[in-house]
């Protein structure tokens, strides 16, 4: 693999790496994405050509371990890629069945194009060179195109080429889900619409989403269509002669019944592909759309880190583009790149929206609309467990119900185990945090006063109603939850799941209550009155919120913040012994369960839990939160807390290196780079052992971008100002980027060798106040400021 800021290049064929490459070579536009599979290869243990439309889910019931379990999945839609080829009367050529003399795949990041070059050895020593260019159109989100070019070196050859639309696909891209029903499509019909155009329509089995797909195939010879079981094909025979390249172009349109302003998805697809220009013209408009995106997401980081960050940004933009602003979708944790986590929406937006807020705020707003549309469902979920307010699901999909699986498979032991991760109620605090961060960065008071205030109020109400008074402690407590660590779902030997007083949960709950009280106090009186009347919010309830926000219990042990009450009583794990026995202990929970043990018995974490507080809040704000709660969080206490958990974390998540790198940039700068490297390489090197082939980790990718944007610069958007407190790492002392801040498009920041430069574009609305630890600066539109930073 070779990486540059503009390309991601694989220079040979390796079947064992194909799933990983397919994920990292995925192309998308925010509406749909297609994995980077080779068009001539069928889905099997090596290849998996998935296509996914954002927000397209279907629910099925499966028999697992003697139980009926229901799961909702992001659906693998009909495969538009198939295009296979062979010498007439010969065998179909694939890298797995034919002689491959050379093979290269290149993702052109600047233009969003996947290029493939393969040289096949034919009989008689001849060489057939195949070049393909693929795009998923960034200007028209319903179009994709594939150009295939054939060149023979010596001796003419007749090539049979077959393109297809395949409706016989299933969801089978994740081995541990294969015991579950993956047949999501039904009523597959195909036919021709014109001499060069075929179509396929189908629908999902239970969500009844109608899908229409049409393909126009043109070649240097006539094309004929044929209907087959669950698919439709188009065939042509090309005469390839030395020195002459022959070409087949395939343009595809995709619509579903979830699209805005749609009547018949099939007719829409047929009409769109008929109106679509040729491949060359499509390429021009596609490249222009990508150029516009890159200008808005300007990023300049040198070296290998910069190349990987560009790839991360590429995949973030393919999953959440400006087209997302028109859709009712959330942030899929694994992008639109595969079927891991079933395409569900977790808390990953906590790591994604802070980046988007400062580049594509309209996309952030749309993602928050997804949460607001499901507020009623969250209120219902809280009511179902006897609480007031809103209980958002840990895993969300189509309608906002809890989608967390009832059972999960441990591949090490082969056992299906109860899954209690739905007790991660802290997802509500993440949503509230995102509302606040978006409004601070964008200045969108209208959203804050309407939908934002409604979500904040109901999330705050849930936390206040979840807190119970403990007379002995003289404090409120929140019981029966699971924290971000995810390993610990209960106490050793306990019959019921859940933990008491998870520190992260309680501190963020106190933050939500405090912020919501501030927002309610600042609302325009008519709007406040409407909200109070609609929600029956009384003064006594507000008084209770204030009390809870000041007296929630935060446990400590041995001079450090405890992950949860009783954490300090757990046994210590023999970390060195387990590393010697297993080498890779990232999924320590699976190792221990396979041994008949449980991670619940030990002081061991999968990823940051308490330390997530240092990721969300600046040191000053974190200290203020603890003071409001009646605790002193001294610097040495926080340092001990960092040391304690860093030594007891297995880093079983791609988010782990990110969060620890962020924290160590301020706590122990010399160690931060190693964790930043881990976060950078989590997907490109597949550090979690095969998981990237099932889909990228979108939160970690966006988080690495935000680590440069906010983590190393100390950038905060609060109180109407840009706050900066840079901590340049020796390994990354020079970098720059542009942001969009409260109506200013293209505010440029550059850090270089102890100097900070800020440039405000001339066409801005108002001055920007910039605050650093030792000074304040007001920059008017058109101003550039250069500041020397303290050592």
Residues 134 and 38 sit within 8 Å (Cβ to Cβ): no
Q: Which one from 72, 486, 678, 716 is the annotated catalytic residue?
A: 486
Q: Please give the Cα distance from 611 to 609 (Å, whole number).
A: 5
Residues 55 and 328 sit within 8 Å (Cβ to Cβ): yes
Total Cβ atoms within 10 A of residue 784: 10
All residues at 6 or more sequence positions from 168 whose CB lies less than 8 Å from its CB, including other chains: 188, 229, 230, 231
Please state the φ and ψ torsions of residue 573, each to the nearest 5 degrees: -90, 145
Please report which helix (H) or strand (E) contains residue 768, including its range.
strand 768-772
Beta pairing class for 127-136 and 734-741: unpaired
Residues 252 and 29 sit within 8 Å (Cβ to Cβ): no
Q: Please give the Cα distance from 314 to 704 (Å, whole number).
A: 13
| Cα dihedral 458→463→466→472 (10° resolution) | -150
The verdict on whether 486 is a catalytic residue reads yes
Report residue 257 as tokens.
């019944």
DSSP E strand boundaries for 331-447: 407-410, 415-418
All residues at 6 or more sequence positions from 407 whose CB lies less than 8 Å from its CB, including other chains: 64, 65, 67, 69, 416, 417, 418, 419
Check residue 39 and report its DSSP letter: T
Q: Please give the Cα distance from 753 to 730 (Å, whole number).
A: 9
All residues at 6 or more sequence positions from 135 whose CB lies less than 8 Å from its CB, including other chains: 27, 112, 113, 114, 144, 145, 282, 283, 286
Beta pairing class for 67-74 and 299-300: unpaired
* Closest CA relative to residue 756, chosen from 775, 782, 741: 775
3-class SS at 784?
A: strand
Check residue 92 and report its DSSP letter: P
Q: Please give the Cα distance from 53 to 78 (Å, whole number).
A: 11
Query: Annotated active-site positions, please?
Result: 486
């Amino acid at each position: 693999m070779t990486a540059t800021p503009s390309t991601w290049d694989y220079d040979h064929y390796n079947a064992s790496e194909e799933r990983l490459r397919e994920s990292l070579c995925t192309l998308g536009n925010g509406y749909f994405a297609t994995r980077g599979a080779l068009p001539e290869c069928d889905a099997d243990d090596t290849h998996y050509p998935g296509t996914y439309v954002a927000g397209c889910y279907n629910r099925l019931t499966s028999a697992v371990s003697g139980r009926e379990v229901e799961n909702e999945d992001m659906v693998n839609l009909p495969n538009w890629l198939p295009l296979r080829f062979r010498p007439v009367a010969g065998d179909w050529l694939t890298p797995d069945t034919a002689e491959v003399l050379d093979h290269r795949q290149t993702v052109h990041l600047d233009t969003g194009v996947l290029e493939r070059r393969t040289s096949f050895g034919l009989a008689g020593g001849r060489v057939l060179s195949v070049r393909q260019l693929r795009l998923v159109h960034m200007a028209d989100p319903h179009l994709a195109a594939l150009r295939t070019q054939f060149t023979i070196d010596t001796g003419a050859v007749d090539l049979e080429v077959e393109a297809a639309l395949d409706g016989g696909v299933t969801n089978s891209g994740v081995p541990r889900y294969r015991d579950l029903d993956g047949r999501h499509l039904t009523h597959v019909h195909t036919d021709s619409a014109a001499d060069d155009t075929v179509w396929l329509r189908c629908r999902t089995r239970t969500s009844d989403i109608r899908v229409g797909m049409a393909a126009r195939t043109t070649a240097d010879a006539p094309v004929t269509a044929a209907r087959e079981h669950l698919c439709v094909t188009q065939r042509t025979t090309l005469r390839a002669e030395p020195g002459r390249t022959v070409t087949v172009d395939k343009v595809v349109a995709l619509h579903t019944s979830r699209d805005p302003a749609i009547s018949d998805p099939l007719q829409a697809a047929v009409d769109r592909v008929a109106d679509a220009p040729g491949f060359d013209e499509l390429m021009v408009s596609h490249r222009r759309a990508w150029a516009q995106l890159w200008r808005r997401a300007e990023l300049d980081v040198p070296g290998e880190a910069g190349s990987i960050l560009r790839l991360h940004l590429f995949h973030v933009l393919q999953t959440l583009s400006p087209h997302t602003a028109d859709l009712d979708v959330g942030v899929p944790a694994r992008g639109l790149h595969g079927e891991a986590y079933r395409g569900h929406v977790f808390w990953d937006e906590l790591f994604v929206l802070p980046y988007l807020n400062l580049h594509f705020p309209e996309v952030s707003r749309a993602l928050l609309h997804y949460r607001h549309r499901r507020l009623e469902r969250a209120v219902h979920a809280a009511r179902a467990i006897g609480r007031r307010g809103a209980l958002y699901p840990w895993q969300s999909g189509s309608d906002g119900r809890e989608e967390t699986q009832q059972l999960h498979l441990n591949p090490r032991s082969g056992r299906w185990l109860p899954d209690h991760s739905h007790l991660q109620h802290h997802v509500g605090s993440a949503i509230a945090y995102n509302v606040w961060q978006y409004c601070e960065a964008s200045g969108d008071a209208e959203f804050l006063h309407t939908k934002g205030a409604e979500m904040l109020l109901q999330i705050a109400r849930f936390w206040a109603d979840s807190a119970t008074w403990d007379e002995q402690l003289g404090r409120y407590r929140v019981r029966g939850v699971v924290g971000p660590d995810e390993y610990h779902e209960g106490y050793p030997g306990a019959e019921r799941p859940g933990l008491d007083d998870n520190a992260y949960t309680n501190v963020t709950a106190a933050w939500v209550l405090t912020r919501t009280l501030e927002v309610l106090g600042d609302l325009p009186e008519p709007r406040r009155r409407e909200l109070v009347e609609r929600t029956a919010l009384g003064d006594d309830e507000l008084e209770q919120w204030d009390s809870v926000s000041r007296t929630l219990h935060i446990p400590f042990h041995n001079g450090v913040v405890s992950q949860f009450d009783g954490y300090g009583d757990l046994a210590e794990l023999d970390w060195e012994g387990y590393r010697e026995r297993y080498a890779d202990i990232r999924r320590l929970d699976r190792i221990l369960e396979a041994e008949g043990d449980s991670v619940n018995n030990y002081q061991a974490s999968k990823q940051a839990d308490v330390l997530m507080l240092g990721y969300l809040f600046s040191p000053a704000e974190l200290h203020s939160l603890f003071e409001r709660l009646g605790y002193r969080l001294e610097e040495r206490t926080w340092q001990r807390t960092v040391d304690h958990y860093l030594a007891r974390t297995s880093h079983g998540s791609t988010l782990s290196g990110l969060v620890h790198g962020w924290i160590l940039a301020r706590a122990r700068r010399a160690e931060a780079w190693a964790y930043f490297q881990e976060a950078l390489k989590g997907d490109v090197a597949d550090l979690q052992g095969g998981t990237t082939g099932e889909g990228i980790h979108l939160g970690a990718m966006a988080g690495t971008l935000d680590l440069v944007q906010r983590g190393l610069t100390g950038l905060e958007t609060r109180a109407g100002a840009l706050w900066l407190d840079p901590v340049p790492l020796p390994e990354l002392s020079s970098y720059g980027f542009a942001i969009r801040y409260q109506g200013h498009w293209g505010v440029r920041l550059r850090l270089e060798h102890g100097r900070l430069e800020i440039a405000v574009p001339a066409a801005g609305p108002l001055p920007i106040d910039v605050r650093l630890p030792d000074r304040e600066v007001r920059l008017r539109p058109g101003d550039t400021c250069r500041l020397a930073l303290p050592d």
